[in-house]
Structure 1
Amino acid sequence: MIDPEIAAAVDLTLPPVLPSNLAVVRAGGRVVTDAELARGGAVTFAESDADGVPVLVLRPAGASGPPVLHLHGGGMVAGTRRTDLHVLAEWVTELGVVLVSPEYRLAPEHPHPAPVRDCFTVLEWMARNGFGSPVVAGTSAGGGLAAAVTLMARDLGGPAVRGQLLMCPMLDDRCDTPSSHEFPDGNTWVRASNITGWTALLGDARGGPDVSPYAAPARATDLSGLPPAYVDVGSADLFRDEAVDYAVRTWRVGGDAELHVWPGGCHGFDQLVPEAALSKRARAARMAWLGRVLYR
């Protein structure tokens, strides 16, 4: 069941994301304004080019602190470098972070490995340009990409990653967990939308035996040697079970993971309804972890 305060504030009757309506979905995305980014002058921001990948860089108006590489959501098929930043800019004002948000290429026009390659390119660009070791963060599809980029950094011997912040992450192309079947409708991201996103990214390979963990991190057989992870998801999110499993498998190999399952949270609840009581609790817990990892 979805938290009543959140359910009253979001439209749970929207049609699923399908190939036939993808252009409409993209055009209807929330546009984060310059004023929202600036937060009354507390944040400065600028566009940049990270070796061919457009990025938006947000900095505190005062002294700059440690970096966060943020990868936006959108089911692998939608979203921009401004997506979700109307809320996440608070990391800049509250924690002093420098936030880098890439415009990675989208499926189906650019299937795997294009999106994760773009994100890893930005990580390498940050390492070469004096940003320091970031926490890699992401929401939904961006959460899956954040996990994938962290796996790539481990397997390729760098660049260094300080932590991974996985918010309602999209991790498993097989779509076979109980929660992935639990929401055929009446939610902000439903089963048909999920299949659309994964099929756009992987084509006929989706669900098959040969999918790379850099496309679907749930496919990784070894989660050892990774930086600390923060994994959170709502109890009413079809990604619930794959997110929980990722944290559990991290613990099993001695890894560091903090897991939160927010009761009544639908997919993306804290960014869709940021002033809801549940959203404030989720954001506060996330920011506390981020502060510990960045400043310890």
Structure 2
Amino acid sequence: MSDTSVYKCFRALHERDGIFVIPNPWDAGTARILASMGFEALATTSAGLAFSLGVNDGAVPREQTLANCRDIVEATDLPVSADLEKGFGDSPESAAETVRAAAMAGLAGCSIEDFTNRNDRPLYEFALAVDRIEAAVEAARSLPHDFILTARCENFLRGNPDLSDTIARLQAFEQAGADALYAPALPDLETIRTVCTSVGRPVNALMGTPGATYSISELAEAGVRRVSIGSAASRVALGALMKAAREIREAGTFDLMTEGATFAELSEIFTAFE
């Protein structure tokens, strides 16, 4: 797929009727595995990358994050959106600069969130949060190609389950020009439905968190247009490793080591990309 086609394809996924799933690989290998399964687009995961590097989410600098993004972009011909956290800075210009850098990495889109990465004041003040999205949108619109800017409100994920403020922020982000909207960790389908009906842009829902086990059809009925899984796949993989290692240490047996993907399965997938 040509570069131009990638950007047009990602835009078309958001504009067509129905819902689509955008799973989250954390390296080139997992990107190719997911692409081989028929998914139409991919999204990176900041936490999945961090865990693979042995650090906490939010601890990976922009340059290293974008290098990982480039690896994932180059691994397949699918459009890729990146989880770029708060844009690696507090100012609107930091968000704009990150969007421009994301485009240079070959990404078809990215998300910018309102989480400050501070426990004492987890979300940016409303006006600054909107200014940051406005700057990110302006940077996206200045690019020579299409770019999907997703604006995230982190209230529910950061222990502040304020639905009114969440909706107000998402509506302001929409007015600022965001292409897609995202409020991770909404507690139930009714809340998801309320968010979807309160805005006019496509809404992304996060699955793979505790209690978030709704089916694709249930999410579609609630009005969701895009579904991501964040760090869930990486945690599934790491959880399997921990469980198998625990068996070796505690039971002295290796039964779980036989449950992984076979060498032949992985070789077949990766050979197709040569």
TM-score between both structures, scaled by the size of structure 2? 0.39
- Richer in strand (by share): 1
Q: Give the TM-score normalised by structure 1.
A: 0.37
Q: Which has the higher helix share?
A: 2
Instruction: Give the number of the structure whose alpha-carbon radius of gyration is greater.
Output: 2
